[in-house]
Each structure stands twice: as structure tokens, then as C-alpha cells.
Structure 1
């Protein structure tokens, strides 16, 4: 007879990686640190380190999981049948929004007291926050983009700017002047038009004038109306003078009675979108039933107004994808450092080292380009920086976001089946994978970005500006020199639409290489140029040449 103690337990768990948690996301991100030093050498990064610790904590990881596991719920009517049009969120959503607002990720760069490097500092914080939870940043990003546009209506800007810049979050459904902090959304696209906003049919009917200027009534719909519980929205509609931009608050003020709580505007939420990812964020379809709105900017000039806002949100698309890349890479590195296979840690296996190093190079290049673009916004009065901002916005948004989905898939594969499950810990990899396509689609998909690049090429001597941008790396690598020499002619000739995607790709790669030469170790720069520019690369990640310094690249990328 044998007792139970004679046999080993059947369910002893071993050779499983512990979740990556309670780390300082900035301290482990040498690429981001290098970008900050390069663009703002004297910047105080103590607040960023605090945010990095907060976003790397188990507490925030739990909030991220719960906010996605319990998505927003629409309540169109109350129990008595009255229209309410409100969205209910899980408490973790509010905790994340509060953290984002306290970090100043929405309106802080527009505060006159923000100081130098405000957009760069905010960009770094945005990336760190994205590593914890990206989807709640939709209203945060839209607030960042919409706030400067409100200057087109000085009265509205004066009333709303303090609340939009406040480092506070207030989810209450009440009049703006009774709230500690405010957020804004946007309503641009319609069923029949999508990116072709000129096809919009929503009508703006003149309705007099008051303390906030020309007032209109909106009648129509919006097909994608993100973050419907924001306090106000910028909306495109057809006025008598053409497509125009309007300010549409959820709750209307009573100018005759400052003590009035206001009345709910006629924005009817039809349903919430059932999306592939981005589950914590509410995206909706709405109808305007003579909703009250005020003109922003010049009537009939709504498209230029929207394009200006799109520049900011497109920066955030590049930053967000870069943050997701970094988190996916960190999880893959952490997992493979602990997981044993065929007699040693996965990270010591040659093929895995190639994959991880390739991902690390891609991630650092994305970080370098995103932060370069953010820096341009801090120096918009400089003609070169203004030109690079125009040029790199569609380029960065196109290329970085286009690389995101393939990156996430490869990083997930590093975890095998552990990466594919939805449970906690590494289950976040599945959430990253679902989130990745969003930034490529939102605010203009790939073709729209390529067309925007062609438009940017018509505004000044872009060939000279690009040559100046690449000049510091001249002679550093023959493949980069060849690409850099070919770009001015292609830019001056303004590539046809058929060639626009290829041009966007090549501009991105050239600028990334030049930045890596100035900010990264030679091992990263050489491997990037040999693979992405020199052709010593395959058609998937993990195909770097055998001569690459894998040790140096992986050591730099480790999240500890």
C-alpha cells in the first residue's frame, strides 16, 4: 500500500513567469530617457518618475483590467421613461481618468504657467500612462486638441479654458461652472462620409446671438461620437456659409440667471459602439434634435479648424502606439527572462534573442520619432520646427501606427499561449493586441495620412527642411546616406498618390535613423540601418543579421 505522500503533487506550479508589476516605467525605459535628454537636457523628470511608478503599480493594473472588463453602459431613459442620455462607467474608469487629469495629460501644455518643454513633458507622460491603460485617454486627447481651437470663440474660451486646464477630474453631469475639471470630445464623421467630412449633412440653423456669440441649432447625426459624457464637443455641421465648427455643451447655461443649474442640451445618444478593443472608452452614435451650438472660428472654415485639431490627436496616436509597443516589449522581455525552455531561459535562445532585439529596435525608433514630433510643438515659432511639425505629423502617425499591430502580434507570440488568454498578468497582452489597430484608424487611416503628407509637401521648402533634419547623421551609415540622397528629389517632385505611402514610410525611416544616430547606442543605430534601410532583414520580426550586437540591444531594452 502507498500513501498519498509517496507521490508528488499533480498541480505544483513552476516555470511560470510572475506578472510584471510595481516598477517605475520611466526608469526602465532608456529610449524615452534618452529622447528627453536629447530634446530637453535640463528637464526635471521627477514628476515623470512618480507617474511611471504609479502607472507601473499593481493598483493601476487592476483598475485597467476592471475598466475594460466592465465597459460603459448607456442609460437612454430613466425608470419613469424620461430621456436622460447618460453613460455609466465602472469606478476604475473614474480612477484612471482622475489619474490622467492630475498628471495634466489634457490641458496642461496650454497653461501659460506650464513653462518650456510642456508638450514634450506631456508626451512622455502620455506614453507612460498608455502602458497602463490607453482607452480612457480618448477624452483626454480630445481635450488636449480641442482647447486651443476654442480661441476661435474668445467668450467660450474665457469661460471654459480654466476648467479644461485644471488638473482635476469631475464626472458629475452638471453645468460647467459648477465642476472642478472639464473634458471635451469631438463629433466629425457621419454614416455616409467617414473621413470625407465635406459630405456631412448635419445642418446648423442660425438662432441669433448671445454672450457666447453667434448661436445655432443643430439638426442631424454623428456616426462616431467618442466619449459622449464629456462636458462639451466640437462638431462639424453645414451652416449657410458652408461646413463650420461648433461648440456644443452637454448642459446649457442660462445667461439671464447665473444661479440656474442649466438645461440638458438636445444630444440624443442612440447607442454605444461594440468595438474590437478600446473597451473602457464609450464611443457612440448620436442625433442632434435642434441642439444648441455656438460658432467657433470663421463660418464656412470648419475643415481647416478640424485639421488643426487633428494635428494634436495624431501626435497622440503615435505616442499611444509607442507606449503600447513599450509595454508589449517589456512584458515579452520579462516573461522570456523567467520562462525556461530546452534547458535555459527563453531569452537566451538565439531565435528568441533575435525576435526580442528586433522588437526593441522598432520600439526605440518609434519613441525617437514620436518625441521628435512632440518637441516640434514646443517650438512652433521656429520656421524649421513648424515645417517639421507639419511634415512629421502624418508621417509618424502613418508609420508608427501601421507597425503597431504586427509588433503586438510578435510580442504576444513570445509568451505563447500565456499571451493569448484574457486573464490578469500577461493577459494584458491580449488587450494591447486589440487596441493596436485603433490608432492606425482613428483620426485618419493610412491613406488619409499619406494624402496629408502630400499636402504638407506643398507648404514651403520641405526638401530643404528634411535635408537639414537628416544632416547630423550624414556619413554615419551608407544605407542612410543613399536614402537621404534620394528623398529631396522625391519630395520636390511631390510623389503621386500611388506613391504616397511609400514616401511616408521612407521619410519615417530616414528620420528615425538620424535620430537614433544622435540618441541611441551604436548597436541600435547600426542594426536599424542594416535591417530597415540596408535590406539585411526578412519579412517578419526576428530576421536581423547574425552580426548584430544582441547583448547590447537587449540590455538597453530591459524594463528594470
Structure 2
């Protein structure tokens, strides 16, 4: 937060050598990797909207709203003053202001309202920019976006719900959806006894006229004020997918009983609850017994959000570190000009650009898959899991390293860095933690005949562009051909695939200073994963200047 003319001359000393307050950020024009990626991946038509939103989302007042929304936690209100059950969550007004901003700019539905080439790429970019400032509000955006293709498979449900989900007006009222101007969709699948093993679920569903009645519990239900939820329960034919609204068709509240709100490490603005379902009315989505197959497309969408959401956290951490080091001196020299700090900053910049580049490439694969390109659809299926695993896994240490670039001032709550750091682990845990994601990559390789070949054609297209990459490609193909102990090696294999893919994308699209340094460090010998260890010959200054938007 900036202040008018703070007093620098104090009774005992004068405050000097401190960076100026950053003030408003232009999240679009300062991000060369984002701008180039938008043009390259087919979304140049959306540049005016993206440029406008980059300025709006980067305003200092939006950052202050984010600070308030995370400082004042949501509060559970299970009962009204007379003891009647209402199952509500109360949010700070800043949270609603951020929701209004997001929905008005199409963050939950831009891709579906602007179909065609580049739609999902531009959608990712919009959310990526706001996620740099505040991540919690993106949870209902992600679930609403991801639910839409699942609902399209059930035309009668889609007819009622899609117009509300595609609205760009935020309506926070807790009333039946038919009376609202817009709606948001949530999702909860996991239960206490099974977690990611949803086949261990115990929630049951029995027919009740045209609908079903569900009884059971869910252990993690984020954005519990959503207007409806997709969930899993066992029906007569097996595990099935259901849409459960907050209100029943007769206008009475549905049997969704909030038990408590989770006291989470981060993501504080977004409420996450435990919920019991007691004779809860719902509609079947897709066939009975095909619940996982029905809901998996929604999971694909939320994992896409995890990938570019973690990319956003890395970008903002880098922006903060660049600003601080460009204005802070030590030993008669700006930090940003000192060789070791420049190595750290350049390494952080490489990681950030590689994550953003891969996220936008995933968006194009989704776009092309939507248009009927089967190879692109296969790449999106396996690629989303690869990107979700690796980008999210790299984010926590990246935000920590950006914090360390500030020294002590980065460790205090007036800085955005502690909030970014607390936010960073969540995307790696939600929507399938590391082991689950890597096993999904193996399943795609083993059961999806198109996935492996589509991925290899993608990365092989960069062969010849860098010697380190060529060797890594050969090593990867050898690893993929070796099926011994493959489950034991699943993390290592997924990491190899991610690094080779990021390297291939950078070799084809980024300046040589970026691609050469990335390949030499990530694919060369003895990479530890620590930041600030770029080898001799890396053009750190060129990489840093590009990250500042000056390259």
C-alpha cells in the first residue's frame, strides 16, 4: 500500500536505500512471456481484453482488497438467530468485491462465451493475472469453468444451469437459482476414509421420482456458498455423479449441512468446509455407475487451473523480487547487478517463463481438442497431469526463494510474499496430490493409445535445437520403454516428461539466452533443483531484463 509523503527523516536516523512502494502493476504489458505466448498460441484476438484486465487487476486497490479478504477469514453461520438451519458462510466485503471483479471480466466462463481458437488460452491468461494478486477467489472460478463441459452431457440440466453459469454478473444472494441473475458451481468428491480413492466413498443415493436422495458426508468442500455442486455417490449401478443444488425444486433448502470450516495454512479468503448430506436431493449427471468417467472432465479443468495458478504465483514472486533488488543496494552496488543475485533472479525467471509457456500450450491443446483434433485432445489429457504435477511442485520453493531475495522485509506480513508462500502448496495438494497425478500419467501412457505418441511427437518437434535437449529426449524415450518398476519411478518419469516438454517449448519459442540456460541447467549434469545455480555461460543479465519486460 502506498502512502502520501511518508516521513523519511526520523529523530534518530534518515530512512534511505529502501525500494519505493510498487504501486499499480500492469500485469499484461510487463510480462513478455505472457504476451508472446498469447500471440503464439492463437489468442491474439483477445489482447485488448487482456491488456485492459492486466491494468485493472494490478491496481493497488485490488491488492488491498486481496489483503483484507485474506486477513478476515470467512465465518460459518449454520443457524439463524432463532436456531433455524441456514448453512451459510459469511465473507468479508472485500471477497465479494473481488468476486464481482472476476465475474464481470469473465474469469469463470470466458472460454465458453468466446469459443474458437485461443479461447482457453485467453481464459487461462485472465485468471493467471488475477491469481497473482489473489488466489482464493479463483476456486469458484475454476469449478464453474470446469463444470460446464460435464453439464453439457446432460441437456436437461444444462438447459437450466448453463445460462446462469455463463453470466458475467455476480449474484451473491443465497436464494434458488431460478431467481438469480447468475450462479456458481462447486465440486466435492473426497470423504474421510478414502481421500483420493473415491471408490472407497460411502455416500449413497436412492431414487426419488425424477431425482435421487443422497446420504453421507464429504470431507473437503471449498466454496460452499456455490449454488450447486457436482458430487459422487453410490447408486444401484455403482459410483455415480450427481448435481446437488442449495435449494430443492420446491424452494426449500436442500439437506447440505455444513459442519465446520477448515483452518487452512493459506488460501484464507476461500472457505473450505466439511459437509454432511442428509436426505439431500440431487439429479443424476451421466449414466449410473459412470460417475468417475462423467466427472473426470471437470477434474481436467480444475487441474488446468492448478497449473496456471501456480505459474501465476511464481510470476508475482519474481516481479516482487525484481522490484526489490532493482532498488536496493549493498556494498555500493544494486543487488540486481551483483553476479550471484543475478544468477538467482535469472534462475527464478527461467522457472517462471517455462511454467507460463507450458500452461498456455496446454490451453491451445484444449482449444484444438474442443475443435475435434484427436491428437491435441490426447496431448491435453496427459499434458494437464504432467503440467499440474511439475509446475505446482516447483511453486513453493520458488516463492520462498523470491522471499529470500528481500531478506527480512520479505518475511513480514506487510509484504505479499508471506501470502504467496502460504498459497503455493495448495495447487499441488488439491485436485490430486503428487503421487495421484503421477499415477494418472502412467495410466494415460498405458491405457490411452494416443497419449504417449502425441506427447512424443510434441517434444520431438524441437529435436536439433539444443544438444542437452536431444540427449534428454533419448533418455526419456529409453525410460518410457522400460516398464520395470514403473510405478516406483512414476515421479521421476513425470519430472523427465515435464522438463523435456518445457525445454522443447522454450527452444522453439524463447530467445536463445532463455532456452540455452534452461536446457543447460535443467537437462545438464548435476542439477539440484536449487535456484541460483545456473552454469557458466548463462546470460543472466539478458534473462533478467526480459523478465522485467525490457528484453
TM (normalized to structure 1)? 0.94
2:225 is aligned, of 225, 229, 234, to 229
Equivalence for 1:250: 246
TM-aligned CA deviation for residue 391 of structure 1: 1.6
Spell out, residue by residue over 1:388-435, the C-alpha distance to the aligned partner (whole angstroms, 9 max, x if none): 111211100000000011111111000111111112xxx110000000
Equivalence for 2:21: 19
Distance in 2, matches of 1:194 and 1:399, equals 21
Answer yes or no: is 1:520 the counterpart of 2:510. Answer: yes
Equivalence for 1:258: none
Q: Secondary structure at the match of 1:132?
A: coil
Q: Is the 8 A contact 1:150 1:156 kept in 2?
A: yes
Distance in 1, matches of 2:67 and 2:471, equals 47
1:448 is aligned, of 423, 431, 436, to 436
Equivalence for 1:541: 531
Equivalence for 1:322: 311
Distance in 2, matches of 1:332 and 1:19, equals 13
1:405 is aligned, of 390, 396, 399, to 396
Spell out, residue by residue over 1:508-551, the C-alpha distance to the aligned partner (whole angstroms, 9 max, x if none): 11111111012211000000000000126445110111321111
Against the structure 1 CA distance between its residues 418 and 21, is the aligned structure 2 distance closer, same or farther, given a 3 Å change threshold? Answer: same
Q: Secondary structure at the match of 1:170?
A: coil
Distance in 1, matches of 2:119 and 2:12, equals 56
Spell out, residue by residue over 1:446-482, the C-alpha distance to the aligned partner (whole angstroms, 9 max, x if none): 0001000011112114443233212332111111101
Distance in 2, matches of 1:171 and 1:461, equals 43
Select between 408-417 and 470-479 the one with higher mean Cα deviation: 470-479
Distance in 2, matches of 1:236 and 1:556, equals 46
Equivalence for 1:36: 38
Distance in 2, matches of 1:293 and 1:141, equals 22
Equivalence for 1:4: none
Equivalence for 1:123: 124
Q: Is the 8 A contact 2:43 2:122 kept in 1?
A: no
Q: Secondary structure at the match of 2:258?
A: strand
2:519 is aligned, of 520, 529, 532, to 529
1:238 is aligned, of 230, 234, 241, to 234
Distance in 2, matches of 1:217 and 1:229, equals 20
TM-aligned CA deviation for residue 13 of structure 1: 2.2
Q: Secondary structure at the match of 1:252?
A: coil
Equivalence for 1:266: 255
Answer yes or no: is 1:370 the counterpart of 2:372. Answer: no
Against the structure 1 CA distance between its residues 539 and 483, is the aligned structure 2 distance closer, same or farther, given a 3 Å change threshold? Answer: closer
Equivalence for 1:85: 87
Q: Secondary structure at the match of 1:498?
A: coil
Against the structure 1 CA distance between its residues 494 and 160, is the aligned structure 2 distance closer, same or farther, given a 3 Å change threshold? Answer: farther
Q: Is the 8 A contact 1:25 1:559 kept in 2?
A: no
Matched length:
538
Against the structure 1 CA distance between its residues 240 and 65, is the aligned structure 2 distance closer, same or farther, given a 3 Å change threshold? Answer: same
Q: Secondary structure at the match of 1:473?
A: coil
Q: Secondary structure at the match of 1:216?
A: strand
Q: Is the 8 A contact 2:307 2:387 kept in 1?
A: yes
Against the structure 1 CA distance between its residues 297 and 9, is the aligned structure 2 distance closer, same or farther, given a 3 Å change threshold? Answer: same
Answer yes or no: is 1:200 the counterpart of 2:188. Answer: no
TM-aligned CA deviation for residue 179 of structure 1: 1.2
Against the structure 1 CA distance between its residues 292 and 352, is the aligned structure 2 distance closer, same or farther, given a 3 Å change threshold? Answer: same
Equivalence for 1:257: none
Q: Is the 8 A contact 1:523 1:553 kept in 2?
A: yes
TM-aligned CA deviation for residue 41 of structure 1: 6.5
Equivalence for 1:158: 159
TM (normalized to structure 2)? 0.95
Select between 51-60 and 144-153 the one with higher mean Cα deviation: 144-153
Spell out, residue by residue over 1:123-150, the C-alpha distance to the aligned partner (whole angstroms, 9 max, x if none): 1111111011011110110011111111
Q: Is the 8 A contact 2:38 2:44 kept in 1?
A: no
Select between 533-542 and 78-87 the one with higher mean Cα deviation: 533-542
TM-aligned CA deviation for residue 27 of structure 1: 0.4
2:501 is aligned, of 496, 508, 511, to 511
Spell out, residue by residue over 1:174-205, the C-alpha distance to the aligned partner (whole angstroms, 9 max, x if none): 11121111101011000111000011101111
Distance in 1, matches of 2:56 and 2:432, equals 32
Distance in 1, matches of 2:391 and 2:178, equals 39
2:385 is aligned, of 386, 389, 394, to 394
Q: Is the 8 A contact 1:110 1:148 kept in 2?
A: no
Distance in 2, matches of 1:136 and 1:383, equals 33
Q: Is the 8 A contact 2:46 2:122 kept in 1?
A: no
Q: Is the 8 A contact 1:463 1:487 kept in 2?
A: no
Answer yes or no: is 1:134 the counterpart of 2:124. Answer: no
Select between 389-398 and 17-26 the one with higher mean Cα deviation: 17-26
Contiguous gaps of at least 5 residues in structure 1: 1-6, 210-214, 255-261
Distance in 1, matches of 2:451 and 2:186, equals 33
Equivalence for 1:259: none
Q: Is the 8 A contact 1:243 1:300 kept in 2?
A: yes
Distance in 2, matches of 1:9 and 1:534, equals 54
Answer yes or no: is 1:341 the counterpart of 2:330. Answer: yes
Q: Secondary structure at the match of 1:337?
A: helix
Q: Is the 8 A contact 1:536 1:544 kept in 2?
A: no
Against the structure 1 CA distance between its residues 545 and 89, is the aligned structure 2 distance closer, same or farther, given a 3 Å change threshold? Answer: same
Q: Is the 8 A contact 1:464 1:488 kept in 2?
A: no
